[in-house]
Amino acid sequence: MESEQDETQLATFGAGCFWCVEAVLQQLDGVLEVGSGFMGGQTENPTYREVCRGETGHAEVVHVRFDADRISYEELLNWFWRLHDPTTLNRQGNDVGTQYRSAIFYHSDEQRKAAEKSKAAVEASGAFADPVVTEIAAASTFYEAEDYHRDYYRQNREQSYCRAVISPKLAKLGLET
């Protein structure tokens, strides 16, 4: 019999503001934990302010721990493509900068292959008029964002960014606002 830890896996995605991505993915059955942070840059232990100033090379990402028996990595990839525009380079809506790039950071060769296959399928589907610019790269060190970023939407639903950006995204995706 496998333990719960054996059944859990990690996925890491960059799809714009990590508050938005966290608010979507934490609602999915089989997602056990979503943490906001940074990956893909050269600075050790970056702060949110450093990342926002474009000084670190990091992307805002979510680190997703999931139960692979309840939700597959491929299903997470399907949500990844739906929750952002993977054709805009270093931008999601009004959020502009390299930290908002579309990225899949894989944790195994199986994830790399699944990500490449999924990206090719999205490109071939014609779902987007413009080319997909999503980066697929090996996961590197995950740096957790400061405490106030954790569970941001649930803690700050009345904040203007949450009302103007996150709530409409959740409604569009048929999730709880």
Q: What residues are annotated to the active site?
A: 17
Q: What is the spatial distance between Cα 103 and Cα 67, in angstroms, rounded to a whole number? A: 22
């739906």: which residue's tokens?
A: 82
Cα of 103 vs its chain's centroid, Å: 8
Q: Which of 26, 32, 45 is nearest to 4 (CA)?
A: 32
- Check if the beta carbon of residue 143 is closer than 8 Å to that of residue 38: yes
Provide the β-strand partners of residue 127. none
Provide the β-strand partners of residue 15. 102
Q: What is the spatial distance between Cα 36 and Cα 139, in angstroms, rounded to a whole number? A: 15
